[in-house]
């Protein structure tokens, strides 16, 4: 056996070992990610009905929703730097504690406590959608895995997130049928406690780089604003996403009372199953996009499947959907 053959066998053996350790690491992250997203999705289907059972009107409920959104927006500007300083694993554990606290407060019908609950849940949401992914990316890099392997994990995250959302809707529907509107939130508490134990016992700590730690929040915001203003494409996509998210949040708030308005018996409306159906549509949209991507990579002569055309089509489709709902809603 010559030297090149020996090196090839050693490299192949190392590649197999690395692949095995990567899969173990990947499973460790995906288990936490799937459970934590399931706990988050459990809170969606029956939140409006829970508050309505407390005797709150639409304006009061809308104020609580808005409180959570504002809290998340402000917290999102600071959580990244805090995670770099205090450690991403520690901040993930803090997420579990803040979210559990928010859920316990949500079980009390006092409006002031519900307000505090949404402040905490807004903070928790900012942590959920930033720190967990940051921990994975940092740990992936630190362990020396190929950068392109990250795409495998994030593709699985997208798929498992859709599955957990669909199952959460079905599960929440069953819980409400048996124990009432508070049950999904108690189930979410149990899942978050499980996640906290798993993170504490299996995750390692990682931090941001020293240069990033020295940056103040104001400096980070100025840099982000500078990038936003210098790139027309980023500004356009940011504006489009902002307007789209505003429309979606209005829908999230109003779809339950809209269904109530046309339903003879609101107690029989299976909001959990309806939620699962919508999440199934989200999953279908993701799969359609992947199909369009594959067609685009095949070198199709048609430019219809380019990303900008797909985005424009998706926004037009969403706009038509809202117009149909608004048109038929005036007759209900």
Q: Please tell me the distance from the alpha carbon of residue 142 to that of residue 136, in angstroms, as a whole number.
A: 10
- Residue 148: CA atoms inside 13 Å, Cβ hemisphere, count? 0
| Whole-number Cα distances in Å, 257 to 265, 275, 277 | 12, 14, 18
**pLDDT score, position 174:** 95
**Which CATH architecture group holds 10-207?**
Up-down Bundle (1.20)
CB distance 172 to 272 below 8 Å: yes
Q: Please tell me the distance from the alpha carbon of residue 62 to that of residue 60, in angstroms, as a whole number.
A: 5
In the chain, what are the domain boundaries?
A: 10-207
- Tell me the Ramachandran region of residue 108: left when phi exceeds 0, alpha when psi lies from -120 to 50, beta otherwise: beta
The segments of the chain whose pLDDT lies below 50 read 2-10
Quick count: other Cβ atoms within 10 Å of Cβ 13? Answer: 10
Residue 323, classed as helix, strand or coil, is helix
**pLDDT score, position 296:** 76
**Nearest in space to 15 (alpha carbons), one of 136, 135, 144, 150:** 144
Q: Please tell me the distance from the alpha carbon of residue 312 to that of residue 323, in angstroms, as a whole number.
A: 17
Q: Please tell me the distance from the alpha carbon of residue 75 to that of residue 70, in angstroms, as a whole number.
A: 8
User: 218-273, pLDDT tens digit by residue?
Assistant: 676 677 677 777 878 888 888 888 888 888 888 888 888 888 877 766 566 788 99
The pTM (predicted TM-score) of the whole model is 0.84
Q: Please tell me the distance from the alpha carbon of residue 75 to that of residue 313, in angstroms, as a whole number.
A: 32
- Within its chain, how far is the Cα of 260 from the centroid? 27
**pLDDT score, position 10:** 42
DSSP state of 108: S
**pLDDT score, position 300:** 57
Q: Quickly tell me which residue has 């992250």 as its tokens.
A: 29
CB distance 325 to 262 below 8 Å: no
Q: Please tell me the distance from the alpha carbon of residue 80 to that of residue 86, in angstroms, as a whole number.
A: 10
**Nearest in space to 32 (alpha carbons), one of 84, 96, 115:** 96
Quick count: other Cβ atoms within 10 Å of Cβ 62? Answer: 15
CB distance 73 to 203 below 8 Å: no
């Amino acid at each position: 056996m010559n030297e090149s053959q020996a090196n090839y066998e050693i490299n192949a053996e190392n590649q197999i070992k690395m692949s095995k350790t990567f899969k173990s690491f990947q499973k460790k992250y995906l288990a936490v990610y799937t459970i934590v997203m399931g706990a988050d999705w459990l809170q969606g289907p029956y939140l409006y009905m829970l508050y309505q059972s407390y005797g709150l009107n639409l304006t009061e409920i809308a104020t609580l929703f808005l409180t959570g959104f504002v809290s998340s927006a402000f917290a999102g500007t600071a959580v990244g730097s805090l995670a770099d300083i205090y450690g991403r694993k520690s901040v993930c554990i803090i997420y579990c504690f803040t979210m559990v606290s928010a859920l316990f407060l949500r079980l009390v019908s006092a409006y002031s406590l519900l307000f505090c609950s949404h402040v905490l849940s807004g903070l928790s949401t900012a942590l959920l959608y930033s720190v967990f992914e940051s921990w994975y990316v940092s740990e992936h890099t630190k362990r020396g895995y190929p950068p392109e392997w990250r795409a495998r994990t994030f593709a699985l995250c997208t798929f498992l997130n859709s599955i957990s959302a669909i199952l959460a809707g079905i599960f929440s529907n069953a819980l409400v049928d048996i124990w009432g509107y508070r049950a999904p939130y108690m189930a979410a508490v149990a899942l978050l406690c499980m996640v906290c134990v798993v993170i504490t016992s299996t995750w390692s700590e990682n931090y941001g780089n020293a240069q990033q730690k020295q940056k103040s929040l104001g400096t980070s915001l100025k840099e982000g604003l500078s990038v936003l203003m210098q790139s027309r494409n980023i500004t356009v996509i940011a504006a489009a996403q902002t307007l789209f998210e505003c429309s979606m949040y209005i829908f999230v708030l109003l779809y339950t009372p809209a269904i109530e308005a046309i339903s003879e018996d609101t107690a029989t409306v299976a909001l959990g199953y309806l939620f699962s159906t919508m999440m199934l549509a989200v999953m279908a949209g993701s799969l359609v996009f992947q199909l369009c991507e594959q067609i685009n990579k095949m070198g199709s002569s048609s430019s219809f499947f380019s990303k900008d055309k797909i985005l424009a089509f998706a926004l037009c489709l969403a706009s038509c959907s809202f117009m149909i709902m608004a048109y038929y809603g005036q007759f209900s």
